[in-house]
A = this chain, B = another copy of it.
Amino acid sequence: MMRPKIVLFGDSITEQSIGENGWGVSLANAYSRRADVLVRGYGGYNTRWAMFLLHHLFPLDSTTPIATTIFFGANDAALLGRTSERQHVPIEEFKENLRKFVRHLKECSPTMQIVLITPPPLNEEGRLAFAKSKYGEKATKVSERTNEVTGQYANACVEVANEMGVWYINLWSKMQETDGWQTKLLSDGLHLTTEGNTVVYREVIKVFNEAGLSTDNLPFDFPHHSKIDSEHPERAFQQNTCDVQL
């Protein structure tokens, strides 16, 4: 019995999801013995650079994922003329790149659940403080990203999701519902705190549940040990179905 795969495709916020208290770890734990969560996060990448990976990453081995999250935009939204301008991607190209991602995944598997996640909101003060901690007095005095522009990329992401009929999570809006999101949910104005990771995890699980991928719907790949008759262990493994009510 092949265990299904869930792929998390994105930038550093996805790469770091496998770290302590990361939303990827929480997902992997939730789907333990039911699905493998594979992290394909590439720190610093924008959608233009991620395009080079697309056909290498999907399809993945012999099986296509049952679900993929696509979580870009934080780097695409870096401003021209500021310190991270090399990562900037114009908003129309960002949208077109997302469309290409979705189109390719749908070609890999028409039944794959695709979830576009918008970039989180951005806290400019947090970015400046981070730059200062890294570069001291030489640090930039103007943030390389703004919340306003990041919001435009978030909206663009939602537009593409609606246009193409795939799931989305508007993280930019969702996070700003929390008082003190600037430091409560973001560690350096951009990346996630433990609480920020929890928000992403909950939102992803919510969408997966709506999409029919609740853990209850995905059986264990092999039986729970309590289902094994110690006198006749082979019986538990002859059944093709694993009881999902464990």
Contact = CB atoms under 8 A, between A and B. Distances in A.
B226 A52 contact: no
A83 interface: no
Contact of A36 (B33, B38, B41, B225): B38
Contact of A42 (B33, B36, B38): B33
A44 B2 CA distance: 21
A106 B170 CA distance: 48
B44 A18 contact: no
B33 A15 contact: yes
Contacts of A86: 230
A20 B230 CA distance: 31
Interface in A81-98: 86-87
A interface bracket (residues with beta carbon within 8 Å of B): 35 or more
A225 B18 contact: no
Nearest to A31: B18
A19 B29 CA distance: 6
A184 interface: no
A52 B224 contact: no
B43 A225 contact: yes
Contacts of A236: 52
A226 B62 contact: no
B234 A44 contact: no
9 contacts: A18-B32, A20-B25, A33-B42, A36-B36, A36-B38, A44-B225, A52-B236, A61-B63, A87-B225
Given A20-B21, A44-B226, A52-B237, 12 more contacts: A18-B32, A20-B25, A33-B41, A36-B36, A43-B224, A44-B224, A52-B222, A52-B236, A53-B222, A53-B237, A56-B222, A61-B63
The 10 A-B pairs at the shortest CB distance, nearest first, are namely: A44-B225, A86-B230, A61-B61, A52-B237, A62-B62, A61-B62, A18-B28, A18-B29, A25-B25, A49-B233
